[in-house]
Structure 1
Amino acid sequence: MRKPAGLERLYVDFDSFFASAEQHLQPHLRGKPMGVIPVASEHTGLIAVSREAKALGIKRGATVRDVRRQLPNFIFVNARHERYVELHRTIVEVIESIVPIKAVCSIDEVVCALLPSEQAEGLALGRRVKDAIATRIGPTLTCSVGLGPNDLLAKIAAEANKPDGLAAIRPEDLPGPLLSLELTDIPGIARGNAARLARAGVTDMATLLRLQPKEMRRLWGSVEGERMWMGLHGYTVERPETQRRMFGHGRVLPADWRHLGGAYAAARVLLVKASRRMRRAGFSARALALWLTDRNSAGWYGEDRFSPTWDDPSLLASLSRLFLHAEREDMRRSRSVHVALYDLVPLRDIEEDLFGYTAEAQTKRRMEYLSVIADRLNTHHGQTLKGHALLHWGPSVEIPGGYAGAKIAFNRIPDAEDF
């Protein structure tokens, strides 16, 4: 373990990013209480709210129906993930013109590694980053900047003075700045973790910081507990690189699509998008999973396994088999649908079939070739078709409510081709 003596990390965390992005892109929304929703539905929840909405007590996760009851004139904007990704790439360019980015943590968070010569001027660098974003992008899109000896402490510093804050947690000041925080103020300690800690008698930061690394590992049930201990005590924490495990998409269905036929039509769209991402990343799959959920998140689950496959017709045939099973098991209604391709195999590792000249093998190769051709044409012409694929397998379907494309996950930023 290494314990830095200076401010080695600079963390940039944007404030209410999706909502601020929409106010940046649509000036008429500035200064107004508004929120971003994933799809046009009264039952969906807000994924981001503006500062003006927060001041009125509106929180992320509130449903459209409940917010409309409280504020009839509240403005709802459908998420435009492709625009947020474009804005993110501009932000990255601006930040890197001042200080190199060590890692992109999410669509609205990056961490930078400071050289020894830069650490004494860390706060000044933070101000330069904030000023550059305001000047080159616009004042609506604000960020909070934190500095610390490691990623975790720099992130905590960034969140300490939101919005539009600038703060540092210096190694020599530990644990002082942490003692006034709630446990749930620490990234990685959600309400579930806090409840488990409370059952073990840990209800405040002072008690948490007195624990030993092995105790933290036991309470977390994994090595993440020890990593948390190291981060909070000012040590560097290096995480192993994660490996891709699946490609998937999910969607809450519009009210009049919540039957098996509607779920199947939506699942086809989602599966083709997932398989396209998988091919571009250089993988094939040996399994497809399907979830159909009802209002209580129960429902139906099925999976189909096969030899390494990456062409759309074969994967869509697998999906059709799964829906036949769901129909036979009397699954009639579904509130949401999710598909996932998993048990991945890199394309370079797939061995040539010794019986590759059979009619079945040759048909499969033709389908693989056609899938790649379709990907190339859709990538080239996608923007002119407003998101609709030029080539697709089966009937062309547009899911009501808006947005069935790639979505921004916490730790995954889609490529431009995903849209």
Structure 2
Amino acid sequence: MRKPDGLERLYVDFDSFFASAEQHLQPRLRGRPVGVIPIDSEHTGLIAVSREAKALGIKRGAFVRDVRRLCPDLVLVTARHERYVDLHRNIIAAIGTVLPVKAVCSIDEMVCALTPSEQRNALALGRRVKAVIAAEIGPSLTCSVGLGPNELLAKIAAEMEKPDGLVALHPKDLPGRLLSLPLADIPGIAKGNAARLTRAGVGDMAALWRLQPKEMRRLWGSVEGERLWMGLHGYAVERPETQRRMFGHGRVLPSDWRHLGGAYACARVLLAKAANRMRRAGFAARALALWLTDRKSAGWYAEERLQPTWDDPSLLASLARLFDHAERELPPRTTHRSVHVTLHDLVRLKDIEEDLFGHTAEAQLKRRLEYLSLLADRMNAGYRRTLLHWGPWTTIPGGYAGAKIAFNRIPDAEDF
């Protein structure tokens, strides 16, 4: 395993991105406490808060009805995902004038690789990245920059002096400032892992640092523990490329949609969006899963196995059958908090063997449905709206069905 002796990675992490984006896009919001919400409702939670709101003790995830009492002056803004994606693309272009972006980690995090000559001026490059973002995008959208021998340490460095920070964790100084961090500040230490560490007598970074790689692997129950040890100790850790396993979407249902009919109407829209993404990526699915949750996050789950399928009519028919099962098995008037649909057990379209009986009427109908699904995709993408669809199409309150920004997924233009 290679151990770099310089600062090979530069990590950019934006501060309170969604809220700062709204302050950037709406100058009247600058300097004011801002909370971003997914839908205009008193029963939803904040998905982002500005630094002014954080200073007042308001945290992401707090419910609107609670924060209004805490801060009557809080400005609530409904999320505009397509604007954030456009801003993200402009940011990537701006950073690219200083350094090529090696990888996009999320909508507001990206990492650059530094050459040996660039490593000698790493801090200066960090300042240049911050300066070009201020000049090309605007001073209201700040970022923190971290430098380290690998991506993990550069990410940790970017978090250390937020907002608007610039920190380098040089390999010759390790563990250094790492020892002052709470374990919860280390990416990869989730609640379950933290509990296992506590049971093993590891309560702080100094104790974690003293562990050996095989001990970390045993505590994590997987190679991820050993990878974390390597990353923290400054080794170059290249993660294996992940394989696509599923396409899916979920949605917390509005209060007046929390019945089986509302869940079904929502699931149809979510499935059509997931299927569109699957086709664009060149996959078919051999399974469709449906999950309905209640207020306690318990739920009803079922799936239907399929021949490799990627057309909307066939997938929607499968979804209807799953909801028929739900109607028979669930108690009447069950309240559903959320609905999730997932297409999984994927196979690449190019790997599907040609049907020897492809001349049958059933096979010909299947090909027509696949062609019509592709035609609808092209029409909808061209007009940036859903013009063609199968069966009823309901607008879900809050919009952005299938186009919300997730931590590890940035929607394509076709998703909107």
Distance 2:243 2:18 in 1: 28
Match of 2:413 in 1: 416
Moved more, 263-272 or 397-406: 397-406
Match of 2:353 in 1: 351
Match of 2:202 in 1: 202
Distance 1:101 1:114 in 2: 10
Number of equivalent positions: 414
Question: Any conservation in 2 of the 1:37–1:76 contact (CA below 8 Å)?
Answer: yes
Question: Any conservation in 1 of the 2:23–2:30 contact (CA below 8 Å)?
Answer: yes
Question: Any conservation in 2 of the 1:154–1:169 contact (CA below 8 Å)?
Answer: yes
Distance 2:378 2:258 in 1: 33
One-letter amino acid of the counterpart of residue 336, structure 2: S
Question: Any conservation in 1 of the 2:273–2:401 contact (CA below 8 Å)?
Answer: no
Match of 1:128 in 2: 128
One-letter amino acid of the counterpart of residue 373, structure 1: L
Match of 2:141 in 1: 141
Structure 2 matches for 1:293-332, cutoff 5 A?
293-331=293-331, 332=334
Match of 1:361 in 2: 363
Q: TM-score under structure 2 normalisation?
A: 0.98
SS at match of 2:102: strand
Residues 354-380 of structure 1: CA deviation (Å, up to 9, x unaligned)? 111111111111110000000000000
SS at match of 1:243: coil
What is the alpha-carbon root mean square deviation over aligned residues? Answer: 1.1
Distance 2:205 2:183 in 1: 6
Pair 68,197 (structure 1): closer, same or farther in 2 beyond 3 Å: same
Question: Any conservation in 2 of the 1:147–1:157 contact (CA below 8 Å)?
Answer: yes
Q: Does 1:406 align with 2:410?
A: no
Question: Any conservation in 2 of the 1:217–1:223 contact (CA below 8 Å)?
Answer: yes
2:387 to 373, 387, 390: 390
Structure 2 matches for 1:136-175, cutoff 5 A?
136-175=136-175
Give 1:183 shift. 0.7
Distance 1:349 1:401 in 2: 38
Distance 1:14 1:180 in 2: 23
Match of 2:13 in 1: 13
SS at match of 2:300: strand
Question: Any conservation in 1 of the 2:287–2:304 contact (CA below 8 Å)?
Answer: yes
Q: Which runs of 5+ in 1 are unaligned?
A: 383-387
Match of 1:229 in 2: 229
Match of 1:385 in 2: none
Residues 71-122 of structure 1: CA deviation (Å, up to 9, x unaligned)? 2332222222111111111111111110111111111111111000011100
Question: Any conservation in 1 of the 2:35–2:48 contact (CA below 8 Å)?
Answer: yes
Question: Any conservation in 2 of the 1:12–1:144 contact (CA below 8 Å)?
Answer: yes
Question: Any conservation in 2 of the 1:39–1:403 contact (CA below 8 Å)?
Answer: no
One-letter amino acid of the counterpart of residue 148, structure 1: G
Give aligned-pair identity as a percent: 79
Question: Any conservation in 2 of the 1:287–1:303 contact (CA below 8 Å)?
Answer: yes
Structure 2 matches for 1:16-415, cutoff 5 A?
16-331=16-331, 332-382=334-384, 388-415=385-412
Distance 2:301 2:412 in 1: 29
Distance 1:224 1:134 in 2: 37
One-letter amino acid of the counterpart of residue 358, structure 1: T
Distance 2:303 2:40 in 1: 30
Question: Any conservation in 2 of the 1:10–1:145 contact (CA below 8 Å)?
Answer: yes
One-letter amino acid of the counterpart of residue 105, structure 1: C
Distance 1:33 1:229 in 2: 39
